[in-house]
């Protein structure tokens, strides 16, 4: 599969994730405005992919007659929770003094590293899952999308599935649909189908019942920001999954590159949680889902305390707070 995000002909090229699973189409982003819009619409999404978007966005700005520092700030602030976005911006911005080509070279190096780091992190995590889960083959549960589409190309939590599936060790993946934007139903199911991995899509509300019925050997999730004490910000619903997993004695494994760890935060209480547009809940494809005027609570992420996490695994292995 091609990279989720790349650079070609002086443009940031992304797979338009809002069009999947029905249409596979590319978007060529030639301005910072187009990039910020794509980030905010989740046409490009997922912490590592956002890190790459941040770096390539600075490369885009550096080649145009704009205030690069100001444009970099707009990109970094496009979505607040995933630490990787600002991290990617800062990394590319650090080369600005050496000129636009140096900024682009740094951004492209970040893309190559992302694929390698997520492949390594997920390989380590696969061994952790095998050690924590005696039953074979494995029945896994995923939430949101932490696959190829959430990174430059390999995937973090779903990267574990690629490693285990290649060894014939996956019986099934239960895919949380992940309301309201359905990253699981639309994106994770699409990726698993591409790789012929057995899977079933389920309502997010079925996850605890699946565990109660013994259908889950391990929960696998990605992360958007990990605090120094191991608290994990991830897609809304992750915290409830962790509580259910602890209640049912199911291992709960978080997979992320170390660029997702924010050591400036002592714990998860300091993580900014993105609140998203009410229309994501009040309508779908233009069809009203609630009475007119209904108010909503639509946080895009929640924070899972490290005490509920079996392991956080990066390219360095188990993360130890």
Ligand X SMILES: CSC[C@H]1O[C@H](OP(=O)(O)O)[C@H](O)[C@@H]1O
Catalytic residue among 6, 176, 217, 224: 224
Query: Hey, how many other C-beta atoms are within 10 angstroms of the C-beta on 218?
Result: 23
Nearer to ligand X, 165 or 235 (CB): 235
CA 255 to chain centre: 10
Residue selected from 36, 235, 302, 315 as contacting ligand X according to rule CB under 6 A = 235
Is residue 4 part of the contact set for ligand X (CB under 6 A)?
Answer: no
Give the Cα separation of 44 and 287 in Å (integer): 24
The annotation status of 234 as a binding-site residue, yes or no, is yes
Cβ of residue 17: shortest distance to ligand X, in angstroms? 8
Cβ of residue 82: shortest distance to ligand X, in angstroms? 6
Size of the site for ligand X (CB under 6 A): 17
Is residue 224 part of the contact set for ligand X (CB under 6 A)?
Answer: yes
Question: Has 224 been annotated as catalytic?
Answer: yes
Cβ of residue 20: shortest distance to ligand X, in angstroms? 12
Write the DSSP string, 59-109. Answer: HHHHTTTS-HHHHHHHHHTSSSS-HHHHHHHHHHHTTGGG-HHHHHHHHHH
The annotation status of 47 as a binding-site residue, yes or no, is yes
Which residues between 113 and 172 bind ligand X (CB under 6 A)?
144, 146, 150-151, 156
Cβ of residue 189: shortest distance to ligand X, in angstroms? 14
The interface region with ligand X, picked from 28-36, 46-54, 162-170, 191-199 by CB under 6 A, is: 46-54
> Phi, psi (5° rounding) for residue 218?
-160, 140
Cβ within 8 Å of residue 190, ≥6 positions away:
20, 21
Tokens in use for 50? 């956002």
Give the Cα separation of 197 and 271 in Å (integer): 34
Q: Annotate each residue in 252-271 with x if it binds ligand X (CB under 6 A) or - if it does not, as one string.
A: --------------------
The annotation status of 79 as a binding-site residue, yes or no, is yes
| Torsion-angle region of 295 (φ positive above 0: left; ψ -120 to 50: alpha; else: beta) | beta
Q: Which residues are annotated as a binding site for substrate?
A: 45-47, 79, 183, 234-235
């Amino acid at each position: 599969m091609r990279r989720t995000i790349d650079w070609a002909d002086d443009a940031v090229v992304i797979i338009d994730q809002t069009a999947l699973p029905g249409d596979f189409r590319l978007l060529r982003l030639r301005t910072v405005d187009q990039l910020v819009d794509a980030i905010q619409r989740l046409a490009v999404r997922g912490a590592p992919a956002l890190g790459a978007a941040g770096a390539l966005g600075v490369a885009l700005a550096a080649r145009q007659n704009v205030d690069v520092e100001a444009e970099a700030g707009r990109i970094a602030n496009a979505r607040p929770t995933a630490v990787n976005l600002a991290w990617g911006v800062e990394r590319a911005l650090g080369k600005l003094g050496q000129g636009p080509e140096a900024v682009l070279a740094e951004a492209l190096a970040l893309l190559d590293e992302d694929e390698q780091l997520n492949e390594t992190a997920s390989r380590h995590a696969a061994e952790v899952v095998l050690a924590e889960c005696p039953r074979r083959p494995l029945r896994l549960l995923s939430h949101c999308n932490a696959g190829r589409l959430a990174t430059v190309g390999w995937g973090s939590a779903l990267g574990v599935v690629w490693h285990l599936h290649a060894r014939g060790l996956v019986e099934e993946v239960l895919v949380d649909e992940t309301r309201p934007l359905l990253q699981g139903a639309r994106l994770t199911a699409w990726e698993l189908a591409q790789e012929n991995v057995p899977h079933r899509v389920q309502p997010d509300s079925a996850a605890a019942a699946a565990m109660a019925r013994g259908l889950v050997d391990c929960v696998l999730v990605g992360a958007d920001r990990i605090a120094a004490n191991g608290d994990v910000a991830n897609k809304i619903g992750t915290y409830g999954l962790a509580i259910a997993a602890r209640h049912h004695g199911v291992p709960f494994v978080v997979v992320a590159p170390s660029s997702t760890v924010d050591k400036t935060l002592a714990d998860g209480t300091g993580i900014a949680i993105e609140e998203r547009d009410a229309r994501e809940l009040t309508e779908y494809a233009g069809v009203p889902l609630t009475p007119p005027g209904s108010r909503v609570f639509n946080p895009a992420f929640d924070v899972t305390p490290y005490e509920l996490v079996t392991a956080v695994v990066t390219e360095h292995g188990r993360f130890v707070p």
